[in-house]
Structure 1
């Protein structure tokens, strides 16, 4: 089923949802309205227990050009407005991480500033060969502070800092080498590569995937010993799940597993 709005196109195929940014003439710039629409779409996913993965895509020549600078300049001098806007964007980025299923960025064209932040905030990313990435706020006198948060959690600090202080574009291949994206493919193979990654995910236990995503991000903020304590607790609980029992039995019996999602 396909459900369309002005700013976000939502298409559900089986247990996979594709959300498509739909401001192609504005290079999918993240206006207040776009942020609100995308947040609503992500929030709706949280209550969908049948959902297995989300693909974040975009229409037009660019993936996302970042914040809508024209809209921002319409509020010149209003610090409260800017605080609220950047907080709204930060909440959206965190909601991608907090979503219990994997979120995969399908990147074509350019992903700049908050658009690069969007890619970095997704769990996985597949980029077309022609895609380019930058945190280019510095070029207009604005350090990309909020994009720096997920960028420095994806990319080694010296390489991230170079991007932040130069505003220079990096290629898709450089983005992959630095850990910003998982795979780079020819432009005409982008959809197939995304679907291949999605297929590999949905073939696994839905319970294990949801458990694992939550565990991975939570342990990142813990000291090493506490991370191991937490991981051991999660894994022990996971071992009691029906899916784990079925998966191990299927492996030993050399047959496909029949996941129950519990």
Structure 2
């Protein structure tokens, strides 16, 4: 089960099976994809927050219970949904935030790392233990390799060891480590900060940022030159520079809401 809600500039997507540590079943991944697409289509939404229900786990990953081998072809097809989810997360204009409220393992760890910003409680366990049951974290290799070096990622995959949030932070896999008491305040601060920034600049900048991964240096520089020209031609750029010169708060022309709800 997955819950979806929009609060001001923030869409929140919650995996809601805390008694099972919020597994990524085929139905759950399908719902995550659908709600991500819905959030991407909402002009007032500036960011999408992914989290798990309860305080035990963000997500323990795929469901390895009964039926895992019953329909190989059907399961193969359903695994394409996680690829489509990552594509939807990376191709949209919304900043994605992982609110990691507990353990994030296997596919759950991949989902957390796939977000633009990953905020993790300090007591969580993180890792990819699939090799211990004769599997390999295939699909999540892409977001992991976008975040950390191949040597770091391979060692974690091949040994299956879990790591602490502080080690994950040092390896570049997450953004912040906070106490449980500070988790929601930190998320609210990030959302509030995003809501005060230019929607046009953020959307164009995020698109450019995510496009760089597959480019060589020369292609990237040409692409970014065009991107810089595009962002300077927006109404937000004119307003931002005028506000800077006049020492006032800019009033963005692009759609936005007033900020984080109470």
**Fold similarity call, TM over 0.5:** yes
- When structure 1 is superposed on structure 2, of 64-73 and 23-32 the one drifting more is 64-73
User: Which structure 1 segments of 5+ residues have no match?
Assistant: 1-6
CA gap of 1:159–1:57, structure 2 versus 1, over 3 A, is same
Whole-angstrom CA distance in 2 between matches of 1:246 and 1:158: 45
Match runs of 1:94-113 below 5 Å: 94-113=87-106
Pair 1:43 & 2:37 matched = yes
Whole-angstrom CA distance in 2 between matches of 1:115 and 1:248: 41
Identify the residue that residue 127 of structure 2 maps to in structure 1: 134
Query: Which of the numbers 152, 162, 166 marks the counterpart of 1:169?
Result: 162
Identify the residue that residue 58 of structure 1 maps to in structure 2: 52
**Equivalenced residues, count:** 254
- Residues 90-141 of structure 1, C-alpha deviations (whole Å, 9 max, x = no match): 1112211112110000002111110011011111110111122111100101
TM-score normalised over the length of structure 2: 0.93
- Residues 48-90 of structure 1, C-alpha deviations (whole Å, 9 max, x = no match): 1111111111102100011111155252xx4422321321211
Match runs of 1:1-262 below 5 Å: 7-60=1-54, 61-75=56-70, 78-261=71-254
Q: CA deviation at 1:234?
A: 1.2
Larger RCO: 1 or 2 (CA < 8 Å, sep 6+): 2
TM-score normalised over the length of structure 1: 0.93
Q: CA deviation at 1:209?
A: 0.8
- When structure 1 is superposed on structure 2, of 37-46 and 80-89 the one drifting more is 80-89
Q: Provide the aligned C-alpha RMSD in A.
A: 1.3
Contact 2:26 2:79 in 1 (8 A): no
List 4+ stretches of structure 1 deviating above 4 A: none
User: Which structure 2 segments of 5+ residues have no match?
Assistant: 256-262
Contact 1:127 1:183 in 2 (8 A): yes
